[in-house]
Amino acid sequence: PTNLKLIQEKLCQLKEEGKFEIQNGDEGYSSAPSNIALIKYWGKNLSRKQIPDNSSLSYTLGGFRSFTKVTTQGRFLPETYEKTIPIRNKLYLNSKDIEFPIPEKMDILIQSIFYNFADEITLKIESYNNFPTACGIASSASGYAALVGAIADLLQLKKHLSAIELHTWLTEWARLGSGSATRSVIQSSEDSFIKWELEDSCKESFTKTSELTFHPKWKQLEHCVFVLNANEKKTSSSDGHKSASTSPLHNVRVAGVSKKIAMMTKALKEFDFDLVQQISEEDAFAMHAVMQTGNPSACYLDEDVSKALALFIQMRDSNEVLAFWTLDAGPNLHILYYKDAKQILTEYHVKLQELLDRDIKIFKNAYRGGLLI
């Protein structure tokens, strides 16, 4: 089966046949990369279980990863079982000693995964990010992908499911944790381009996540973030998605996404850098226009971001280097670039600090090694 419900039923069946037993103290491990969307997921249908309003396309950030270990812990008492949302799983983030309040949606996700075939299990989750919290990279994509990967390892799903079933199981559960996490599940290489497609059908599974083929020159693409504001964002992505549909621009953007995905898919195959740059930058602006015109409106393109963007575009264009920008639901500038842009980016960093009159940190997707930029 390639449908999550059927796969869960298959697992229940296996459990009933005694084919796999879960013991207290069983462990599972996984790690997953973060990703940056070039064509953004913005807006979702809340009544249809995390179904995005549009397809999206991302670049995998192999150097920014979450590493997660899950351990089964005790069985909970029958009286807690009666509660609808018992907070019984434990989460430790980046530290062995401090228990972190587990987000309700993570608790529900774990309950749903185990529901019907091992619902008496509680988990201890230990997760570590190799990137700082305030570096402009959201940890929910890598975090949820690593969590479902670790649970799959705990359940030894590789033994019980076919490759396609496992792919569906992982991408679907990751999606239910956090939309962008479904694009962090596929890990055939450190860098890849992933498409999360919305399929309009009446079947149970409405979305599909897959890897795109791309020209080998993209293997040299590099990525870094200029952190303009490290403070926690005022509006979370989850809240932002809810107000997307209130913007008069939302439907216009959504209607154009399929065409953008098709054009970018072709541009990635043929190494049409200009087109990838143009679509990415236009879509980031389009998403921010939706954010600004929604109710409540959210504006991340503040004065500093506008200044930083204008300076970047001016320096990039006058030097004709291969580099483009994108922005997520935060005020931090993501730059994707080739080696020939390094010198200009170093000069950009100096000028940007002068312009904003303060230190600006840069974080580089470091798996290629080397110094910052």
Which residues sit at the interface with ligand DP6, rule CB under 6 A?
Answer: 37, 40-42, 56, 138, 140, 178-180, 237-238, 241, 328-329
Angle between helix axes 140-154 and 104-114 (nearest 10 degrees) is 30
Q: What is the DSSP string of 200-223?
A: --SSS--EEEEEPP--GGGGG-EE
**Shortest Cβ 168–ligand DP6 spacing (Å):** 18
In this structure, are residues 73 and 98 in contact, taking their beta carbons and an 8 Å threshold? no
Identity of the residue, 118 or 279, whose beta carbon is nearer to ligand DP6 in the bound complex:
279
Q: Which two tokens stand for residue 134?
A: 């305030």
Identity of the residue, 287 or 344, whose beta carbon is nearer to ligand DP6 in the bound complex:
287
**Shortest Cβ 64–ligand DP6 spacing (Å):** 13
**Shortest Cβ 271–ligand DP6 spacing (Å):** 23
In this structure, are residues 140 and 148 in contact, taking their beta carbons and an 8 Å threshold? no
Q: State the burial class of residue 261 (Cβ atoms within 10 Å of its Cβ: 0-12, 13-18, 19+).
A: buried
**Shortest Cβ 2–ligand DP6 spacing (Å):** 22
**Shortest Cβ 107–ligand DP6 spacing (Å):** 15
Identity of the residue, 138 or 224, whose beta carbon is nearer to ligand DP6 in the bound complex:
138
**Shortest Cβ 78–ligand DP6 spacing (Å):** 33
**Shortest Cβ 300–ligand DP6 spacing (Å):** 9
Calpha distance 153→138 (Å, rounded): 24
Angle between helix axes 4-16 and 163-177 (nearest 10 degrees) is 110
Identity of the residue, 42 or 226, whose beta carbon is nearer to ligand DP6 in the bound complex:
42
Identity of the residue, 40 or 316, whose beta carbon is nearer to ligand DP6 in the bound complex:
40
Identity of the residue, 69 or 241, whose beta carbon is nearer to ligand DP6 in the bound complex:
241
Calpha distance 356→364 (Å, rounded): 21
Which three-class secondary structure state does DSSP give residue 101?
Answer: coil
- Of 325, 337, 251, the C-alpha closest to 294 is 251
* Integer angstrom CA distances of residue 324 from 81, 114, 336: 51, 43, 5
Could you tell me the sign of the dihedral formed by the alpha carbons of 65, 71, 77, 81, in that order? positive
In this structure, are residues 177 and 148 in contact, taking their beta carbons and an 8 Å threshold? yes
Identity of the residue, 106 or 154, whose beta carbon is nearer to ligand DP6 in the bound complex:
106
In this structure, are residues 7 and 106 in contact, taking their beta carbons and an 8 Å threshold? no
**Shortest Cβ 225–ligand DP6 spacing (Å):** 13
Identity of the residue, 40 or 253, whose beta carbon is nearer to ligand DP6 in the bound complex:
40
* Matching residue, tokens 């491990």: 29
Identity of the residue, 294 or 341, whose beta carbon is nearer to ligand DP6 in the bound complex:
294
Amino acid present at 141: A
Cα 372 vs. chain centroid, distance in angstroms?
Answer: 23
Strand partners, 234: none
